[in-house]
Amino acid sequence: MSFDRSIKIAPSILSADFANFGQEIRAIEAQGCDWVHVDVMDGHFVPNLTFGPPLCAAIRPHIKTVMDVHLMISPVDPYIDAFAEAGADIITAHLEAGPHIHRTLQAIRGAGAKAGLAINPGSGIEDVEYLLDMVDLVCVMTVNPGFGGQKFIHSQIDKVKKLRAMIGDRPIHIEIDGGITPETAPLMSAAGADVLVAGSAVFKGGSVDNPSVYGENIRTIRAAAEGARKAA
């Protein structure tokens, strides 16, 4: 994975057809997505239960871009190796998920994956400053984690601006997860984000039998984000 700050669209398969993950992934990649985002939830750290390492291993052969695995679980450390072995390119853990996040980030990198740090809407970025040399990505949650289809929390725009200034020239992605649409994508790209996770906004109206809709949705989000960045 080489680093650049171009706008990347990362569809969340939480909004895909669960019975056809392989076809759905091939469809969104063929239609221009940059990464494939996998939301892992444990029913404990967040009020929902989704996927585990076996699912990641099963879909890995279908992913030709980047497998971006977001762990909304606690504890995290016992599962890092399993997700790395399942083929995750990026493993993101939550600042709030345990008392030793520095150790968790070390373990992720030690397992051979890029290390991501996620922060909830109610968390500040003060603690992030002391972890920047340990991370490849910071994921700012713009909804409360646990469910897709939630409304975007606008107070996070200022958080992203501050985070962008804090990161400076470091090769760290700023990812936005939650409520991304053609209307909110420009707000985030102008604030400094470069990776936009979108679930329903990508998959709505399309299917593996009509994948061109996925492409239209991806292009619309990307164009809105890139236009706002140029104007900023």
Catalytically active residues, by annotation: 39, 177
Whole-number Å distance between alpha carbons of 97 and 203: 29
Instruction: Convert 14-67 into a string of H (helix), E (strand) and C (coil).
Output: HHCCHHHHHHHHHHHHHCCCCCEEEEEEECCCCCCECCCHHHHHHHHHHCCCCE
> What is the DSSP pairing of strand 114-119 with strand 90-94?
parallel
**Structural element, H or E, at residue 78:** none
Residue type, 3: F
**Six-digit token pair at 154?**
């606008």
Sequence-distant contacts of 76-84: CB under 8 A, at least 24 apart: 76/104, 77/103, 77/104, 77/107, 79/53, 80/104, 80/107, 80/108, 80/111, 80/113, 81/111, 82/52, 82/53, 83/40, 83/53, 83/56, 83/113, 84/108, 84/111, 84/112, 84/113
